[in-house]
Amino acid sequence: MATLAQLVRILPWADWLALVVLFGGWTAYARFARQRSTVRPSVLDATNRERRRWMREATVRDNRVLDGIVVQNLSSPPSFFASTTILIIGALLATLFASDKASEFVREVPFAARTSVLVFDLKLVVLTAIFVFAFFRFTWSVRQYSFGVILVAALPPRDQFVHDDAAREAFAERAGRIVGMAAESLNDGIRAYYMSFAAAAWFISPWACMLATTGVIWVLYRREFHSDVLRLLLDGERSAAAPAPQPAAASPPPSSPPSAPT
């Protein structure tokens, strides 16, 4: 408690403002993106619709092995990120136990703010906490993808879905939602990686942290709501929803002119 009280006393107001902007902007953007997707489609929202369509098509396939393999392979990126995050957390903890030497090294960086060792430790703790959050989101994504594999493996035979559209839609909604939740967890972890760059800018100065937070949120917004990938996904949905052109009616054969009387 004495260390916390000392930290509250010596931390400049600009650093407090940087903390508020970092975590406030992160939380506010996450809520904004979730609500905005109900009005304007995002990349995650568009791909979730494709996942539901994928699961709907899986119900009428005789061989679902490929679907299970695809779902399992989708867990590879969060597994990779989780393993990488463990290494990053270990490196940050090692730096935290040797913060005296690390703080001296940062002081030699041009334009870096000169802070006490206690404030430097706080910055390391904040950065470590961000990666810990990302680790939990990545590992939860891996587990959710494994749940999706179980659902695909437990699919009843194709004949039970051919004449039962209600059961087909119910399964597609349930399985697509689970796979979509796994993708959302992966998206949260990647977003934490983006915000870690803003937190790393805090070692330079609190103003650099606030500027980097604004820039990261802008990049996230552009990629989620105005990217070329989203445009292509929406174009594909419009093409799939457009009615097929009707074939032109065959014109009747021309009538032969009446023969002249002989």
Lowest-confidence pick of 58-62, 88-92, 116-120? 116-120
Angle between helices 165-200 and 76-97 (to 10 degrees): 30
Interacting residues of 58 by C-beta distance below 8 A, sequence separation 6+ = 64, 67, 152, 155, 175
Q: What is the mean pLDDT of the chain?
A: 85
Q: State the pLDDT at residue 24.
A: 96
Q: Is residue 193 part of a domain?
A: yes
**So what's the pLDDT on residue 86?**
96
Q: What total number of domains does the chain contain?
A: 1
Instruction: Answer yes or no: is 186 within a domain.
Output: yes
Is-contact 122 7, C-beta < 8 A? yes
Is 59 strand, coil or helix?
A: coil
Domain span at residue 203 reads 14-35+45-237
255 domain-assigned: no
Q: Looking at the domain assignment, is residue 7 inside a domain?
A: no
Over residues 149-161, the mean pLDDT reads 85
Whether 245 is in a domain gets the answer no
- pLDDT number for residue 251: 54
Inside any domain, residue 259: no
How much is the pTM? 0.83
Q: What is the per-residue pLDDT for 238?
A: 64
